Structure 1
Amino acid sequence: MFWRFGGYANISTIDTLLEKADFTLENLLDEGELLHEIKQHNAKLIEYLRDEPVLEQLLHYVVAPKLEPVLASEKDDASDNEKAPSTPFPFTRSRASSRAMSDVGDDDGEKKRNRYAYVASEVLASDTWSIYEALMENGGLIRNFWQFLKRPSPLDPLQASYFTKVNEALFEKKTEEMIELLKSFPNAVSDLLSHVECPMIMDLLLKVIALDRTEGGHGIVEVSFLPPSLTLRSLYAL
């Protein structure tokens, strides 16, 4: 029973991965122990996750758009292959590589996109104070995150649920900071209203409206944002 000695049993897969010089965020997102290690407050892991470029990638993964197959001639493919830029995201493909992928490849890419979206949202909403602090220190990342609401309707329901999950966690744990941040967003409430048919976005909208009744939240929802036919009472009744 050598594991009783030397502390070998305490060395996790995540710790081993973090020791590698060439590991990537995607390597971590593929690890089944990631969320468990965050809950165990793995200091080295959390310090890595709160780095600004890492947070930016995590927020991107939460709302990464679906892969869309593109059809074109072989001549166009060859031309695009010469000009196609590299991308840091494994499921975001250039036009040329998209055309070359088979249906099976598209399915695999979509599964990876969905998995990364789920894991990234769980990381960002993991009740880890250090990560919340880092997000508030980089308000521009949240501002860009909210550009998700600028997309045309209907929104991807799965993405909308993850977007709402992350924001609800931030509003709960960093209420005052999020209120001030949201007030600085142009047309934030009207953007929410533009997707009122999406149940997940509706939940987030109602949470924002409820903040108007809290200390420091007064004025976060201006009456001018609401169409004449849509009152606060009618919103709560939906």
Structure 2
Amino acid sequence: MFWKFDLHTSSHLEALLDKEDVTLTELMDEEDVLQECKAQNRRLLQFFCQDQCMQELVRLITTEPPAGAEETKRFKYPNIACELLTCDVGVINDKLGNEEPLLENLYAFLEQPSPLNPLLASFFSKTIGNLIARKTEQVISFLRKKEGFLSLVLKHIDTSAMMDVLLRLISCVEPPPLRLETLTWLNEQKLAQRLIELIHPERDEERQTNASQTLCDIIRLSRDQASQLQEISQPDPLLTVLESQECVEQLLQNMFSGEMAESCIVSGIQVLLTLLEIRRPGFERSYTVNSSILLAIQPHLIHFHQLLLEPPKRDPMLTTLGVLEEPLGNTRLHVARLVASLLYTSSASHAVVAQELCRLNTMDLLLDLFFKYNWNNFLHLQVELCVAAIVRPCAHEMRLQPDFSSQDKSKLSPDALQEPNTSEPPTSEPSVTSENSAHNLMVTHVGLFVSRYILVNLNDMTFFEFYYLNFSFS
């Protein structure tokens, strides 16, 4: 009774393969063709690995299908071809990775004029990415012979699939010595600098956004792999360049050159926030922020302060509470995120940034915006993080006295924290450093602002605002 339902589906494929004039299209029309391919159907794989069939599969994923049919039907065969080429079957990987004419046909997709078809670009990216992971040496050797490879990828960076190609080169190359060789090659091709050049007001928004996201992913991947691959003593060349003062300064110069564009400012700040990441959500390991990053940012804090005062113009916004004539905007929100990240960064150059923020009265301005946009929870979160970073005494004391644990400190009375112990040698007293002075100045700024606000606006202060102030400083 079981067999009357004809569930032995491979017999359909076998019958087709028995035909002398069977075509690739006929086999691709079978629903179980991909399943049989993954199941290592010997006759089916022999058919696909013929030169003519492999060339046709590559052509399908790199050539625009004829117009006229529905979009889903137009890309039916290119989609199946991509799945067959990336089904991780050894004989297909070997055929595609070892045959240079096939790689040439695949590479020719990058030489097409912009813009690329995004769906075909995703097929190309998936196929070349699979080859980078499975036939690493052959594909890397082939790409290194192509002098214009990186230029072509960056030319099409407005298509998000091209980001995946770059990230595959960084994350999927094994063993570690070959990975380091590949990173050195990409660094010699000025990958980091060329991506930063794309974050510029004169570039289109999509190109800026994708370049920014690529840089953020490169930084995170490089840091993660550097912490995992301890046997490689040499530093990651791309990460070294991205954390250098010259590279950060170039990014900041691009952001503030010419007319202020929100897309450029936000894209640049996203890269800076990634460089300033101490700990990523969901990851236990922490990173040390290079002081050169802070030294590069410090001279440009005045520009970020000015953005809080005069952000890019935005049209009035209709909200449930009425028309908001001057919306906060994405630019000012990202500047607030950057200030919060700078205040949380523990580094020898922390005092330089804190002193400049005090001189500019940036925290006063952020607190003004806090009360002006009293319904913007995104801004409130960033301002709360700023205040928490300023008034956290334990963290700053621990930086002054590294051998002093937070548990021991919590057991001391306030008098013991203020008065030195005369029984201890004088050398045990913490010295007054520029960082300590900057921290005290920042706390004074915040305290004076809040006190002034309470005295001036106590009658008009809502219960929510009063509660939030007490919560922030408790």
Q: TM-score range by the shorter chain?
A: 0.7 to 0.9
Match of 2:168 in 1: 207
The counterpart of 1:197, out of the listed 144, 154, 158, is 158
Contact in 1 for aligned 2:98/2:138 (Cα 8 Å): no
User: Aligned ranges for residues 218-237 of structure 1 at < 5 Å?
Assistant: 218=181, 219-224=184-189, 226=191, 228=193, 230-231=195-196, 235-237=214-216
* Offset at residue 11 of structure 1 (A): 4.7
Match of 1:124 in 2: 85
Counterparts of 1:165 and 1:188 in 2: how far apart (Å)?
Answer: 17
Contact in 2 for aligned 1:56/1:141 (Cα 8 Å): yes
Counterparts of 1:170 and 1:215 in 2: how far apart (Å)?
Answer: 18
Q: State the superposition RMSD in angstroms.
A: 2.9
Contact in 1 for aligned 2:10/2:36 (Cα 8 Å): no
Counterparts of 1:116 and 1:148 in 2: how far apart (Å)?
Answer: 17
Report Cα offsets for 1:77-98 as digits up to 9, x if no partner.
Answer: xxxxxxxxxxxxxxxxxxxxxx
Matched, 1:59 2:58: yes
Report Cα offsets for 1:150-170 as digits up to 9, x if no partner.
Answer: 112221111011111111111
Residues 53, 174 of structure 1: CA spacing in aligned structure 2 closer, same or farther, 3 A cutoff?
Answer: same
Match of 1:134 in 2: 95
Report Cα offsets for 1:83-119 as digits up to 9, x if no partner.
Answer: xxxxxxxxxxxxxxxxxxxxxxx115x6544011100
Counterparts of 1:10 and 1:228 in 2: how far apart (Å)?
Answer: 54
* Offset at residue 36 of structure 1 (A): 1.0
| Greater radius of gyration (CA) | 2
| Secondary structure, counterpart of 2:142 in structure 1 | helix
| Secondary structure, counterpart of 2:96 in structure 1 | helix
Give aligned pairs, total: 198
Residues 231, 25 of structure 1: CA spacing in aligned structure 2 closer, same or farther, 3 A cutoff?
Answer: same
Counterparts of 1:173 and 1:121 in 2: how far apart (Å)?
Answer: 16
Counterparts of 2:22 and 2:11 in 1: how far apart (Å)?
Answer: 15
User: Aligned ranges for residues 129-168 of structure 1 at < 5 Å?
Assistant: 129-168=90-129
Match of 2:178 in 1: 216
Higher relative contact order (CA 8 A, sep 6+): 1
Question: What's the TM-score, normalizing by structure 1?
Answer: 0.73
* Offset at residue 47 of structure 1 (A): 1.1
Counterparts of 1:228 and 1:237 in 2: how far apart (Å)?
Answer: 14
Match of 1:87 in 2: none
User: Aligned ranges for residues 68-107 of structure 1 at < 5 Å?
Assistant: 106-107=68-69
Counterparts of 1:166 and 1:44 in 2: how far apart (Å)?
Answer: 23
Question: Partner amino acid for 1:152?
Answer: P
Identify, as 1 or 2, the structure richer in helix. Answer: 2
Match of 2:15 in 1: 16
Counterparts of 2:10 and 2:194 in 1: how far apart (Å)?
Answer: 60
Give unpaired runs (5+ residues) of structure 2. Answer: 198-210, 218-474
* Offset at residue 199 of structure 1 (A): 0.9
Give unpaired runs (5+ residues) of structure 1. Answer: 69-105
Match of 1:47 in 2: 46
Counterparts of 1:167 and 1:201 in 2: how far apart (Å)?
Answer: 11
Match of 2:135 in 1: 174
Counterparts of 1:57 and 1:139 in 2: how far apart (Å)?
Answer: 15
Match of 1:37 in 2: 36
* Offset at residue 121 of structure 1 (A): 0.3
Counterparts of 1:173 and 1:126 in 2: how far apart (Å)?
Answer: 11
Match of 1:103 in 2: none
Residues 48, 221 of structure 1: CA spacing in aligned structure 2 closer, same or farther, 3 A cutoff?
Answer: same
Question: What's the TM-score, normalizing by structure 2?
Answer: 0.38
Residues 179, 16 of structure 1: CA spacing in aligned structure 2 closer, same or farther, 3 A cutoff?
Answer: same
Residues 107, 223 of structure 1: CA spacing in aligned structure 2 closer, same or farther, 3 A cutoff?
Answer: same
